[in-house]
Structure 1
Amino acid sequence: MSADRNLAGHRVVITGASSGIGAATAVAFTKAGARLVLGSRSKDGLDDVAQRCVEAGGSAIVRWVDCTDASAVAAFAAEARDLLGGIDLWFSCEGVGVLGRYEDVPIADHARVVDVNLVAHMNDVHAVLPIFLAQDHGTWVNMISAGGFVATPYAAAYSASKFGLRGFSSALRGEVSKRPHIHICDVCPTFVDTPGVDHAGNYTGARLSLPPGSLAPETVAKAVVRLATHPRNLTAVGAPAIA
């Protein structure tokens, strides 16, 4: 087994874990031997992922949590730390989307995208960074997307949230630059075949579909797992590569 797959005892928290990339990453970490606490707003989805982890030869503790609620995330992080005896890696994978002309999309929908895609990730870090600092180690993995580099017309709030995440990560790296064992890692895949496209708010008047060649969530999961032992500032997944 290669070193980057040998994560026996590694303590991992994943938010947005009930489907798509989050779920695939939970299974991948399980296969690598990690111990998991999974959080999401979908209890049924979490139970399904926990069963997949059992089938993969491990287990996972699941908790319902709305990461747009800072106090709820703080309580979730404290419980995860106590259950695992610490947190080595936290993967923020929560995200939503809405498509349509900016003026046609209700402002509440735009606000929801920013709340889930940006503010929830900020809440995650506000909860886990003190744990990392106390331990003097830890890796935060920030699921962004190629959309953090290329603005997408008809997805203005999504673009704003993803560009915001990149700026947030960059600022955090500056703040922890003197703590060499604390890592801020951005993951930026291209299109991924997940339920997100089906769940996205759609004000376009057309049926949404993924482009040919979209990535499997397991491909992104593999890149996230590797960051547990080979942290790096930016991991681009898919083509074309992000310059």
Structure 2
Amino acid sequence: MMRNQLRDAVVVVTGASSGIGRATAHAFARAGATLVLAARREEALKDALQECERLGGCGIVVPTDVGEAEQVDRLCDTAVERYGRLDIWVNNAAVTLFGRLEETPRDAYEKVIQTNLLGCVNGARAAIRQFRDQGHGRLINVSSMVAHAGQPFTSAYVTSKWGIRGLSECLRMELADAPDIHVSTILPASIDTPLFQRAANYVGQSAKAMTPIYPPEKVAAAIVHAARYRMREHFVGNSGRLVAAIRTLAPPLGEKMMERKVNSDHFIQELPIEPGSGNLFDSRGDGAVHGGWIERGYGSPSGGRKGLALVLGLAVALPLALYACHRRA
């Protein structure tokens, strides 16, 4: 496969039933790829595949819980048995949980780690074995901007995403002897997906996407770009780049800014909810690509003002942090 040619490439996408995964399946379908779509919900996967076929793609669905290694191995084997090779593997499946560490049930917390981080490990293990056998392949791991800057109330998610970024870095070094096998990490900022409505929540208030909010199609475009061109890490959304920069240059300032941002902009104060495990153990949802946050005005224009304030604040804080570092030196 030529590096910029995706027509007929065999592409596995996990978490393909909704959100970023479904948008990614659409993007690869437009490029003419052959898709192997994986998620827990078979009916949602079938709907996604029909959409992909209308967009010019083709493929199969393989219901898979990525947290279970045997199921991921079966996913890989099914793809290779059906199409004879595997060109691209996108580790995207993710769940999340809101709550203070000490107030969240152990099994719920561990399920986030199992799905997000160990699911990525399971996918990488299966894909790389096949890539080595055939001599080429691209592994694309979807992490998050929070892999560079933590935040309160989502420590399970943050821990998993830091782990994914670290895993990718390790794999790039381990694959130094395989020049035609590449590993990329995608780092989305806050994205308009149903992740937040379906999350486990032990805060007592409904969670929402923080501003600024970016459409999932923007992440899908970055994933397709990583499939075409060799790249190490790629932020999706300037807010992620700025947050990571200020957190690196002035950690106390970065932590304080993120703490305040989460407390003021990650929850809907007027919508209390009962504690619950969301979709961690019981897959649910309608297969939507978008969460509706931008459409409801959380992303723009009123919600966008908060995001703009964050970006402007970081733009001002960054040179001040640089100056402070210079003075200390």
Normalising by the residue count of structure 1, what TM-score does the alignment of the two structures yield?
0.95
Distance in 2 between residues matched to 1:109 and 1:93, nearest whole Å: 19
Q: Does 1:100 align with 2:99?
A: yes
Quote how far apart the aligned CAs of 1:115 are.
0.2
Find the counterpart in structure 1 of residue 90 from structure 2.
Answer: 91
Q: Equivalent residues in 2 for 1:109-120 (5 A)?
A: 109-120=108-119
Percent of counterpart pairs with the same letter?
A: 36
Distance in 2 between residues matched to 1:36 and 1:185, nearest whole Å: 19
Tell me the secondary structure at the aligned position of residue 227 of structure 1. Answer: helix
Q: Which amino acid aligns with 1:183?
A: H
Find the counterpart in structure 2 of residue 239 from structure 1.
Answer: 238
Find the counterpart in structure 1 of residue 75 from structure 2.
Answer: 76
Q: Equivalent residues in 2 for 1:173-188 (5 A)?
A: 173-188=172-187
* Structure 2 residue ranges without an equivalent (≥5): 246-329
Q: Which amino acid aligns with 2:82?
A: L
1:178-234 superposed Cα distances (whole Å, 9 cap, x missing partner)? 211101100001001111011111111112122333111111001101111102110
Tell me the secondary structure at the aligned position of residue 227 of structure 2. Answer: coil
What do you get for the CA RMSD once the two structures are aligned?
A: 1.3
Distance in 2 between residues matched to 1:31 and 1:200, nearest whole Å: 30
* Structure 1 residue ranges without an equivalent (≥5): none
Q: Which amino acid aligns with 1:95?
A: A
Name the structure with the higher helix share: 2
Deviates more, 1:233-242 or 1:32-41: 233-242
Distance in 1 between residues matched to 2:211 and 2:144, nearest whole Å: 17
Tell me the secondary structure at the aligned position of residue 228 of structure 1. Answer: helix
Tell me the secondary structure at the aligned position of residue 173 of structure 2. Answer: helix
Tell me the secondary structure at the aligned position of residue 140 of structure 2. Answer: strand
Q: Does 1:210 align with 2:216?
A: no
Deviates more, 1:158-167 or 1:20-29: 158-167
Q: Equivalent residues in 2 for 1:14-25 (5 A)?
A: 14-25=13-24
Quote how far apart the aligned CAs of 1:82 are.
1.7
Find the counterpart in structure 2 of residue 124 from structure 1.
Answer: 123
Please identify the structure whose Cα radius of gyration is greater: 2
1:89-126 superposed Cα distances (whole Å, 9 cap, x missing partner)? 00011101001111111011110010001001101111
Q: Does 1:56 align with 2:38?
A: no
Q: Which amino acid aligns with 1:108?
A: D
Q: Which amino acid aligns with 1:91?
A: V
> Runs ≥4 in structure 1, deviation > 4 angstroms?
none
**What is the number of residues matched between the two proteins?**
240
Distance in 1 between residues matched to 2:199 and 2:189, nearest whole Å: 17
Tell me the secondary structure at the aligned position of residue 76 of structure 1. Answer: helix
Distance in 2 between residues matched to 1:101 and 1:65, nearest whole Å: 30
